[in-house]
Amino acid sequence: MKHIALFTLLFLSRLVFSQETYPKITGYFGVYHPIITTSSEQTNLNFRDYYAVGFPTGINIWKSSKIGFSFEIVPNIKVQGASDKVTNIVFHPGVLVALGNGYTFAGRMAFENSGRYGVTPVINKTVIKNANSSYFVAVPLPVRFGNDHPATVTIGVQLGIAF
């Protein structure tokens, strides 16, 4: 009887200690490639006349296994001809919603130092999960307004590592 009680106690304590604790803080870094940007005036394709790339870096604070908050900063670089420069930096706070099967939705606000603002819905899929890191693919859909420019919609691809 003592052995059964001891075994039960050890088994239950393992279940308790194996659960994740919240809030859970994770960080990530990625490379973002905008593919096509369209507005009422024009459509621009990345890789054709120029090359644009962003480097999303952020911290996620998960309140539970289903919902969290994210702080993200994205410096964007544009290379055109012999010229290259940082075109803007985006502050991207948002809400994270775990959708299951490795998918996450991020609903982000966007504030660019160029004077533009908007929203960026993102669908993210974890493709490789290790003990201390995971690799992901994301499809952001930035929508921007302001600064005396027409509204734009962009679709892009992001690859990254979370830790």
Q: How are beta strands 94-100 and 103-112 bridged, if at all?
A: antiparallel
Query: Is residue 15 pLDDT above 80, yes or no?
Result: no
Distances (CA, A) of 104 to 25, 87, 99, 144, 149: 16, 28, 5, 22, 31
Assign domain 20-162 to its CATH architecture: Beta Barrel (2.40)
19/135: higher pLDDT: 135
Query: Is residue 18 pLDDT above 90, yes or no?
Result: no
* Residue 118 φ/ψ region, left for φ over 0, alpha for ψ in the -120 to 50 degree band, beta for the rest: left
Among the listed residues 126, 117, 127, 92, the one whose alpha carbon sits nearest the alpha carbon of residue 106: 92
Q: What is the pLDDT of residue 13?
A: 56
Residue ranges per structural domain of the chain: 20-162
Q: Enumerate the β-bridge partners of residue 4.
A: none
pLDDT, mean of residues 100-112: 99
Asked if residue 28 lies in contact with residue 58, where contact means CB atoms within 8 angstroms, the answer is yes
